[in-house]
């Protein structure tokens, strides 16, 4: 298995359980590892034979700016499912962090791994 990765993608979304978090979008940071075979793309040199990371980034930005999630865990599941079902990944690792949420803490977050059913 090969891995396509996207590191430190910043996206604005509504995330959280507190009233201020439900009213004001926050910047989150996503890092993704997307398991797939890149053999066809390596042979053909054709973007249609792989997962296009630019399309993944555009889709995530579009989806997340219009949604609200209470928990990072739910957001991570949403992203993992999107990558597995809509982009055909065979395995994903999704890392999501809120930035500057607590005094003296730079980032808080969650990391999950999921495989295709």
Chain segment 35-93, per-residue pLDDT in tens: 999 999 999 999 999 999 999 999 999 999 999 999 999 999 999 999 999 999 999 99
Catalytic residue, candidates 35, 72, 98, 114? 98
Length of the chain: 117
Torsion of CA 22, 26, 31, 35, to 10 degrees: 40
For the chain, domains (ranges, CATH) are 2-115 (3.30.1130.10)
Q: Is 98 a catalytic residue?
A: yes
Total-model pTM: 0.93
Please name which of 85, 89, 98 lies closest in space to residue 12, comparing C-alpha atoms. Answer: 98
Crossing angle, helix 53-64 and helix 72-86, to 10 degrees? 140
């Amino acid at each position: 298995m090969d891995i396509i990765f996207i590191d430190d993608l910043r996206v604005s979304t509504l995330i959280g359980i507190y009233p201020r978090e439900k009213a004001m979008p926050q910047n989150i940071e996503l890092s993704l590892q997307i398991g797939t075979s890149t053999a066809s793309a390596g042979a053909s040199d054709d973007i249609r034979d792989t997962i296009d990371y630019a399309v993944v980034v555009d889709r995530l930005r579009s989806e997340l700016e219009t949604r609200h999630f209470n928990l990072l865990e739910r957001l991570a599941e949403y992203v993992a499912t999107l990558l597995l079902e809509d982009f055909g990944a065979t395995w994903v690792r999704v890392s999501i962090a809120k930035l500057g949420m607590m005094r003296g803490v730079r980032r808080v977050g969650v990391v999950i791994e999921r495989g295709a059913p």
